[in-house]
Chains A and B, each alone.
Chain A
Amino acid sequence: MRALMLNKSYFIETLKKLAAMAEENRDHLSKLDSDIGDGDHGINLTIGFREVEKQLPQLSESVTDIAELMKKVGMILLSKVGGASGPLYGSFFMKMATHIIGKQEVTFKEFCQMYQDGVEAVQIRGKAELNDKTMLDALIPGLEILKNYQEGDDLINTLENCVNEMKLGSDKTIPLMAKKGRALRLGERAVGHRDPGSESAWMIMNVFLQQLKTIS
């Protein structure tokens, strides 16, 4: 059997659903942010993904490959959102393109590489480490799963494990003091609150997972 390929329409459908996910979870994510930050994480994601959604019909016509699509989406997020989540999620999507230039479809193995390139970009831009109470606390455990993917492994299972590990990683931010971002200044008062970036990170990858389920 030919391995499942992820084509342009998989990514376009995922991006549409990301926009819907941002709207649905806007107030939830903003509430998390108001506990330890400035209360607008969900709002800022909707500002970014509304613009992505607006440009998507035109983009899906004009981009020549998946790499260009991801790069353009990253640039929209980078230019419209600002704050910390703009450069971080912007870099995440832009750098997903690194190893797939020219590709009309990617294997799941290549998708894992896209994720790895994205996470590494967040690390470089955010200069954060595991347990700093940032989105990396979800992104890094997810990466461990996808790095270990072998051809022949069940795709849905693998991505499900990835999202589950990300969720667990997000849970683990609750008892932490922050070492980056606005919550840094809170000291002990950040303890007991989930990092909003770690929550949105697993939610984003969960959209990729749900879309994968519809095509497998």
Chain B
Amino acid sequence: MKRLINDGYDVVEELLEGYCLAHSDYVELDNDCNRVIVSKKMSSEPRVRIIVGGGSGHEPAFLGYVGKDFADAAAVGNVNTSPSPEYCYAAVKAVDAGKGCLFVYGNYAGDVMNFDMAAELAAEEGIRVETVTTTDDIYSSENVQDRRGVAGNVFVFKVAGSAAAKGYDLDKVKALTQKANANTYSIGVALSSSTLPVTGEPIFDMKDGDMEVGMGIHGEPGIERTKLEKADVVVSQLIDHILADSKLKSGDEIELLINGLGGLALMDQYICYRKAHLLLAEKGIKIYKSLVGNYVTSMDMVGMSISVIKLDEELKQLLDHPCDAPYFKVAY
């Protein structure tokens, strides 16, 4: 095992303790629940609150996006495991300002069950909670509603946070967040498994020199295992999938994210970015802005994903709206 940890059963608590010590100007642990990260920079006027969340092991997702004018709280589950209803509900109680809350999280069976139970608890208390599940992983299913949420989460979270920051009501924040999700497309490739902290073992075996297209961020097996190719070849394959699914055409405008899965050098990520940018530009697709780095990871997995969000003026404005979280900043 190449992980630098203590007891594998303590990783989540120790991660959260470290995170809150490091970013004490931005966040704190909720008083009532040690699995909820709450923003210290929440607006003083009441607004719709944005709650993100999911399993641990995807850092800086989801806690890294809690800050000013972005997400207001994150509910943090065990490794690769959605947070329980108790944690999700505690997040609602911690931040609700009477304008309702929006849950935004990846579309996984476990997450849906837990967040839905929390939304039911909130409803019993008279707190309105709406939900948008992200479904950007195009290779995870033919049916859009069955797809998983992966790194494209970042765009969707950003739009949700900006819409709330503009003071829109819950229906409008939800509609805009859904719009962002519907326009976001991602696909990943893994070169290795991540290592589970408790067992110290990889989730699955992967030979050196193999790659798997379509791999999930929890190490769910992808669809196809093949010999590792050069970066340009791999990126071309991924871009082809995105173009085919998104129907992007010449003249369309996008934001482009090259996301490292945790164990891939930033050098490699920029080499991938280069090819993705060139291929898209060749097709006449305009790249409005780009992000490169580790945004939604799978612990120590070696691999990357490509996400694009197709833009219109409304989405552009929301993505450009200023915000300040430890792992996402847009200048004021």
Interface residues of A, Cβ cutoff 8 Å to B: 26-27, 30, 34-40, 43-44, 46-47, 50, 78-88, 125-126, 180-182, 184-187, 189
Q: Which residues of B contact A85 (CB under 8 A)?
A: 110
Instruction: Kindly report which residue of chain A lies nearest to residue B75, judged by CB atoms.
Output: A82
- In contact, B85 and A79 (Cβ under 8 angstroms): yes
Cβ-Cβ contact count across A and B, 8 Å cutoff = 107
- In contact, A185 and B140 (Cβ under 8 angstroms): yes
Question: For window 80-102 of chain B, which residues contact chain A by CB distance below 8 Å?
Answer: 80-87
Known: A182-B108, A185-B148. A83 touches B78 (CB 8 A): yes
**Cα A30 to Cα B78 with chains together (Å):** 15
B117 interface residue per 8 A CB criterion: yes
B199 interface residue per 8 A CB criterion: yes
**Cα A122 to Cα B109 with chains together (Å):** 14
The tally of residues in B whose CB lies under 8 Å from a CB in A reads 34
- In contact, B114 and A38 (Cβ under 8 angstroms): no
B79 interface residue per 8 A CB criterion: yes
Instruction: Kindly report which residue of chain B lies nearest to residue A184, judged by CB atoms.
Output: B146
- In contact, A83 and B85 (Cβ under 8 angstroms): no
- In contact, B220 and A37 (Cβ under 8 angstroms): yes
Q: Which residues of A contact B146 (CB under 8 A)?
A: 184-185
Interface of B is mostly: loop
- In contact, A38 and B86 (Cβ under 8 angstroms): no
- In contact, B220 and A81 (Cβ under 8 angstroms): no
Cβ of B107 to closest chain A Cβ, rounded Å? 10
Cβ of A197 to closest chain B Cβ, rounded Å? 11
B204 interface residue per 8 A CB criterion: yes
- In contact, A181 and B220 (Cβ under 8 angstroms): no
- In the assembled complex, 10 residue pairs joining A and B whose CB atoms fall closer than 8 Å, in A order, are A38-B80, A38-B203, A40-B81, A79-B86, A82-B82, A82-B110, A84-B82, A84-B113, A182-B109, A189-B221
Known: A82-B83, A125-B113. A38 touches B220 (CB 8 A): yes
By Cβ-Cβ distance, the 8 closest A-B pairs, closest first, are A39-B203, A38-B218, A83-B81, A83-B110, A84-B110, A79-B86, A82-B77, A82-B84
